[in-house]
Chain A
Amino acid sequence: MAKRYAQGPWWRLREPGIHGRQAAAGWLFLAPVIVILGLFLVLPIAAAAWVSFSDWNGNGSPLGAHAHWVGLANYRHLLTTPGLDQNNFGEALRNNLYYVLLVVPIQTAVSLFLAVLVNRRLKFVGFFRTAFYFPSVTSSVAITVLFLFLFNPSGVINKLLSYLGATGPSWLYDPRGLFHVILDQFGVHQSSSLSNGFFLGVSYWDWLAGPSIAMCVFIVMAVFTTSGTFMLLFLAGLQNIDESLNEAAALDGATEWRKFRYITVPMIRPTLFTVVTLGLIGTWQVFDQIYVGTKGSPLNTTLTPAFLSFSASFNSNEWGVGAAIAFILFAIIVFFTVATRLLTRNPDRVPRRRRFGPTQRIGNQDASRVASAAPGSAP
């Protein structure tokens, strides 16, 4: 049992005897996937990493004679050199940060709410499930175009608002930050102390702008299109919850809200992690809506790092800078994912050791009770 595999390098792991050739066959079967992943995933990522450290200008192969190693120059250009590229990058980060901070919580809450709604025995539940999921299967380009019409200054939304006696903003043309607008209502205007300090070429006052009115349209759109998908994930999680738990809680006199808070939410914690993580990745990479809708306008307030990476590369011919933006974005996403993992980890889970084995910390009586209940310790 202990010496299951013959000694040798990792690629020659094999069992002695009649199964001797199985490892080779295994590698053979893996080969197509390795080739495909290598060709379409590992190689391009490695090439992009190289480009981000090079002065390649788009002429000829980036691995050829035209590209030279420039070290961290592209990263320094973005992060520490004042100028247009740094301004754009700072603005893109700010815009996307507000986008993420608003979209992820809202879409998670909305999709969980929808999932709880359609997880009952209702009439027409199939219809509602389909209807809620529908925006997710529609192409994002089509929905963007639809939203462009809806949120036109003389479009449907503003017509509706005018019936209610309100004057809508010019939406996708309105660069004012949401927080600035709110602060303005309270008489707080641009303060000079915040306007003179800069981070990544953007003044502190502008960092606090919040999402622009134009970006808010994209935020609403993201919630509208993604909630359906995440509702489906939550629905699967909800249907895994044993109904007897809810019944037991009901017998104990728990209200609907308490059942939701103390049974449903803890039981779907893994799904919650999945949804938040997928949401974070998707929102930090927002590109197609921007490309189709505004291309960063108005006043750069819908510019995002993903779109900036594209335009720096393809329009400005600054391929190294474009690739560097992509890798910084990658680092940001990894950071947020790890942070989510730490936050959604079950805080009051009993460590394995304590559940299944008697330890010194637990009193003798308890220990024996636990030990006899645990199947693993049966003789």
Chain B
Amino acid sequence: MHLHRIARWQAAFAVVAISALALTAGVALGSRGSEKATTITALIGSSGPAETYAVRNAAKAWTKRTGIQANVIVASDLGQQLAQGFASGNPPDIFYLGNDQVATYAKAGDLAPLDNLKNVKSFYPSLRAAYTYQGHLYAAPKDFSTLALVVNTASWKGAHLTSKDYPKTWKQLAAVAKKLTRNGQVGLCTNPEFHRLGVFMLQAGGWLVSKDGRTATVNSKANLTAFNFVKSMINAGSMKLTNQIGAGWGGEGFGKKECAMTIEGNWIAGAMTHDYPTVPYKAVELPAGPAGKGTLQYDGGWGLAAASKNKADAMALITYLTQTKVEMGNAKAFGVMPSVKADAKEWKKLYPQFAAFLAGADYSRSIPTVPDIATVLGDFNQQLQGLPQSSPKPILSRVNGELQSILK
């Protein structure tokens, strides 16, 4: 009798446990998009507390004006969290979107077009182009960066160089790099990446794709000239890639005084202030190559999810976040360059020492909007890590083939 009672007890317990489990599973599976409609979720990949705070404040101000809740979430891995959102059919309404990913997501149908955004005309045309895929705008540009030559002014003086010596041509660049290579410091160091060394391609008149964007031109003569120049500086010992000096990126090598010059974007300002406050530096425009000036541009924007349940409000929030006042607030808070043309003058006044970055906007180029280009450029970067040991030609022809295969 006693045993029977225990068995019954256990059976009852099991029934309760199973129904609880089923209930949880049901709730988990069926919870899609009920209460979501009144809150706009924004997923951001933040550069640090300053940026997080600024975006949160802007969202709060918008909530105050409109009465619509806006929830800012900081992603630890933006790409992965976006992918999870798209797959679950319940993505964040708006999110940070780099222009190297926009075509991939747009092609998959993850993004809603933003052609009808109220303030669409206020952005730089080049930025709009960087977010246009098959005739539609898929993100609202929020800020951008360009690359410039960052110089350690103490080393500069130490090598008896003056402000007249800032290099205007490749020849001068090679010459100052040679002079700056002294006391255990190398003249120029930069990441072994297309995302830095690509500036030489532009200066030589080369680029990744042809003008119509249909043909890969990575193995062009101009690009070969560019990388032969880089290689000659490496061979001369006046330039090193950061993997040769064990630095994670150009800013680290520059901050640790491993090199006197580096090619970096305006984000280097934050690292210099926080990590290397004693290193005096100045940003100047990159030298011109055989084909003139050229630099790379990196764009940040706000994307809107195709699966968003409240697109109208989400678009209103994007418009608010990309207007003059908010963008200038961001510029003050964490130094980015506003995507709104009208802000340029004020920004120059705010950051006179970074004028070179803004000047680059006139002749800079963004990565072409081709689906999967991030993967190909990833391999380009991997191959460039071996540049000191190998020669440019096989690298360029390999990447050319890879790029051509995704252009078709």
Contact = CB atoms under 8 A, between A and B. Distances in A.
Interface of A: 25, 28-29, 31-32, 35-36, 39, 57-62, 66, 83-84, 87-88, 152-155, 170, 173, 175-176, 296-300, 313-318
B87 A28 contact: no
B379 A84 contact: yes
A317 B243 contact: no
Contacts of A173: 243-244, 246, 385
Contacts of A62: 87
Contacts of A88: 379
A297 B86 contact: no
A39 B28 CA distance: 12
Contacts, number: 102
Interface of B: 7, 10-11, 14-15, 17-18, 21-22, 25, 79-80, 83, 86-89, 104-105, 107-110, 243-246, 306-307, 371-372, 374-376, 378-379, 382-383, 385-386, 389, 401-402, 405
Contacts of A83: 401-402, 405
Given A84-B405, A317-B108, A58 B14 contact: no
A68 to B, nearest CB: 13
30 contacts: A28-B14, A32-B14, A32-B17, A32-B18, A35-B18, A35-B22, A39-B25, A58-B86, A59-B86, A59-B87, A59-B108, A59-B109, A61-B88, A62-B87, A87-B379, A153-B246, A170-B243, A173-B244, A173-B385, A175-B386, A176-B389, A296-B382, A297-B382, A298-B385, A299-B383, A300-B379, A314-B79, A315-B375, A317-B83, A317-B371
Nearest to A61: B89
A211 B372 CA distance: 29
Nearest to B383: A299
Nearest to A66: B109
A255 to B, nearest CB: 49
Contact of A60 (B22, B86, B378): B86
A31 B382 CA distance: 50
B375 A25 contact: no
Counting chain A CB atoms within 10 Å of each CB, the highest count among B108, B109, B245 belongs to B108
B322 to A, nearest CB: 25
B382 A300 contact: yes
Given A153-B246, A154-B246, A316 B109 contact: no
Contacts of B110: 58-59
A39 B26 CA distance: 12
Contacts of B11: 25, 28
Contacts of B401: 83
B308 to A, nearest CB: 13
B102 to A, nearest CB: 12
